[in-house]
Copies of this chain bind each other. A is one copy, B any other.
């Protein structure tokens, strides 16, 4: 997915604040699902959430206001109790690597209790497994 760094996402160092990347990863997961015919909105409406159990970001170069960024998401694991994504953020104009990252997710129900990801979702996810974003 593509996005532009918003002014509100900058900080007084003149760069995108490092917490913004975590928000972009999430937006990229949602788009990744949509592009493959799945809807995270519908998953949530059906009472299944992919709660984040860990996230990590490695910052390589600064993104600045109005930069157009490409956020690549890759599905690395799709198990009934654990889903893992990795990410790569690239500056659109020159393909410069801005950041990489990973997130691990645990399927949870409406009461935030761990649950098994329904088989129907697993079957939709598995064909899109890849070894990583790098």
Contacts and interface: CB of A to CB of B under 8 A. Distances in A.
Main DSSP-derived SS at the A contact region: mixed
Looking at chain A, what size class is its interface with the partner chain?
35 or more
B13 A51 contact: yes
Contacts of A39: 66
A10 B55 CA distance: 17
A44 B65 CA distance: 10
Contact of A8 (B6, B7, B11, B108): B11
B55 A56 contact: yes
A66 B11 CA distance: 13
Interface stretch (A20-28, A79-87, A124-132): A20-28
A88 to B, nearest CB: 15
Interface in A64-121: 64-66, 108, 112
Given A8-B17, A15-B112, 20 more contacts: A6-B23, A6-B26, A6-B30, A7-B11, A7-B27, A7-B30, A8-B19, A10-B12, A11-B11, A12-B12, A12-B13, A14-B112, A18-B52, A18-B55, A19-B19, A19-B23, A19-B26, A52-B59, A55-B56, A62-B112
Interface of A: 4, 6-8, 10-15, 17-20, 22-23, 26-27, 30, 39-41, 44, 49, 51-59, 62, 64-66, 108, 112
